[in-house]
């Protein structure tokens, strides 16, 4: 084997060679970030942003849908190259995958039926719906469980919101933008308390996760994000999905 082929083989073994197809994975049940439309096509801010990155970086990209709590394991086992799924950058996750630059500054809120509660302390002994494997679940477990609050995990936040609508739980804890999107379509509910921006869980922001050590792809994604912010595409997408 000559030196060039040997170098390529070594890079491939460490995941540093860019694949011909970049396989993005997401959990398309988290509008407005990612969702499946009436034509069974994935849409949303994250999807459009990733497609725009692929376009400016001239990457051949595909998009795949699976449960949120399986996204990081799927990257670790190299089934996919990157995950974009409204994923908070946390110290625990950063040990398992590498993250792009922040592309969305996040916060989280509790949503409950109107007039059921007047302050957040009233939820202390209650059960709150969360999406399984999320920062919301971990935040309740770490910060609020000792006071009596219980996090009930669901496969998707939409399942949790549906259970609240049917009276099975009294509250859901999710990202502010997701709750806002849902409230615009559902009457009789409201945000309870202030937005939560704890840096260990939500305040750092969302990042695109890539397989640990894939610096080539990480750099391409970061360069793409920078280009989209410079050429105005990012702002257009932001205004489309998060109008004031």
State residue 200's pLDDT score. Answer: 86
With a CB cutoff of 8 Å and minimum separation 6, the contacts of 33 are 44, 45, 46, 85, 86, 175, 177, 178, 241
Helix (H) or strand (E) holding 226: helix 215-231
Dihedral, CA atoms, 75, 79, 80, 85, nearest 10 degrees? -60
pTM of the model: 0.82
- d(Cα 190, Cα 81) in Å, to the nearest integer? 38
Collect the ranges in the chain with pLDDT lower than 50: 1-19
State residue 15's pLDDT score. Answer: 44
Q: Do 190 and 114 contact (CB within 8 A), yes or no?
A: yes
State residue 14's pLDDT score. Answer: 44
State residue 232's pLDDT score. Answer: 98
State residue 3's pLDDT score. Answer: 42
């Amino acid at each position: 084997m000559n030196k060039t082929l040997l170098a390529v083989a070594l890079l491939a073994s460490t995941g540093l060679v860019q694949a011909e197809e970049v396989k993005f994975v997401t959990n398309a049940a988290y509008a407005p970030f990612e969702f499946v439309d009436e034509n069974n096509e994935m849409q949303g801010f994250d999807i459009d942003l990733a497609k725009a990155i692929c376009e400016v970086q001239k990457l051949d990209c595909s998009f795949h849908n699976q449960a949120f709590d399986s996204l990081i394991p799927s990257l670790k086992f190299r089934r996919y190259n990157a995950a974009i799924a409204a994923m908070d950058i946390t110290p625990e996750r950063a040990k398992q995958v590498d993250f792009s630059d922040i592309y969305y500054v996040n916060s989280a809120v509790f949503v409950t039926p109107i007039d059921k509660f007047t302050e957040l302390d009233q939820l202390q002994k209650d059960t709150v719906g969360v999406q399984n494997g999320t920062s919301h679940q971990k935040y309740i477990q770490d910060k609020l469980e000792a006071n009596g609050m219980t996090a009930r995990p669901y496969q998707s936040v939409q399942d949790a919101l549906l259970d609240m609508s049917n009276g099975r739980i009294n509250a859901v804890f999710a990202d502010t933008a997701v709750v806002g999107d849902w409230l615009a379509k559902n009457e009789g509910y409201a945000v309870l308390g202030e937005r939560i921006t704890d840096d260990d869980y939500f305040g750092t922001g969302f990042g695109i996760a890539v397989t640990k050590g894939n610096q080539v792809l990480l750099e391409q994604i970061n360069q793409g994000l920078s280009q989209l912010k410079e050429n105005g595409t990012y702002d257009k997408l932001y205004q489309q999905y998060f109008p004031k």
